[in-house]
Amino acid sequence: MSDYTPRKSDRFAFGLWTVMNTGRDPFGEPTRGPLSGLDAINELGTRNVYAFEMHWEDIIPDTAGAAERDGIIKEAKKRMADSDIVCGCSGANTFTHPVFKDGALTSHDPKIRQMAIQKYLTAIDVGYELGCRLTNIWWGRDGIEVDAAKSPVQAIKRLREAFNYLQAYIDDNKYAGYRLSIEPKPNEPRGDTYLPTVGHAMALIATLNKPENCGLVPEVAHVRMAGLNAYHEIALALESDKLFGVHLNSQKPLRFDQDIRFGAEDLKESFFIVKLLEDHKWQGNRCFDAHAYRTADREEVWDFVNGCMRTYLILREKAVAFNRDAEIQGILRELHRGCDAPLPASADLRSADIDPAPLAARRYHHEKLDQLVQELLLGVR
């Protein structure tokens, strides 16, 4: 029987906030006790999680002075060493405090924009000290409900200004290898969020002073909230060499951000995401950004953690089986035969006589292929 025990070499990661989650939601109080960010580092590391992601405020109080901050960073480093876990990404919380109720990086008030950038400067400093080389930016409050109140053109200009400022800070401090990323989301907590998809974010990145230093961290749930295919969105970022990270979870389409355990609601799409990452030997961390059901107590949170990793490992094994399945590969060879033929010269193509009748009669075997995938996932192949 296959062993689905996670190993550090699998490069699994979790956001600290995922296991610190207390089950609180907009309609109800917490259903499980708190867990500190430092304790979360220990707990994840001892479960063979390779890395953690964080908002720096997950471990350092927003009001901490320099001495307290340095002490916490020292303690975090000790716990990281003790449990053999690394910091994969350092972000900032620019969505909880009411000062950001109408945006952070896109606020009309320059002082609020400065506060938001200041928070990300801290994220970069703390992240670099903890050994990570990425600050991921999810602008939870940078959106709008009342379009009359704010121009999206101006908002995009402010986002560009912020990213260029952060990049200049990285350069000025000689933080070698440090990069930035955008995590798109279409809505929630705002009615509409700026740059809601991978494609929107890539359009902004192309206009930055150093576009090569900014990438994407697509999240499955965010993509499905927009009614799109997360497999395709992640593939776009990967093919463009912009996949700086990935947030794996599960989601019923077109609903609020559910952050369900990976694979629980969209098994086939999850399978193709795993296959994409593994087939292309993507070198990044497989980070889970979800949380246990509100019905779970504190101990059951670790069932959620183990479930995310176990599902990925099972789907990884299924991807290997897909690539070795003779019948599946036979259909794919037929479908792909001649598909990479180069385009002829335009003069030749302009005068070519292409008969659509035999092309229209071509069989694609999609019904059979999809059924074979279904049977593979159901465990009968």
353 part of the active site: no
Q: Which two tokens stand for residue 360?
A: 């229209």
Which of 3, 25, 39, 58 does the annotation list as catalytic?
Answer: 58
Region of 57 on the Ramachandran plot (φ > 0 left; ψ -120 to 50 alpha; else beta): alpha
Dihedral sign, CA of 25, 29, 34, 37?
A: positive
Which of 3, 10, 39, 55 does the annotation list as catalytic?
Answer: 55
Alpha carbon distance 237, 215 (integer Å): 8
* 270-289 per-residue burial string, b: 16 or more CB within 10 A, e: under 16: bbbbbbbbbeeeeebbbbbb
Looking only at the bridges linking them, the beta strands covering 192-193 and 247-248 are unpaired
172 part of the active site: no
> What single-letter amino acid sits at 253?
P
DSSP-derived 3-state class of residue 214: strand
DSSP-derived 3-state class of residue 13: strand
Q: How far is CA 25 from CA 35, 258, 294, 295, in A?
A: 17, 11, 8, 12
Containing H/E element for 75? helix 66-83
Residues annotated catalytic, as ranges: 55, 58
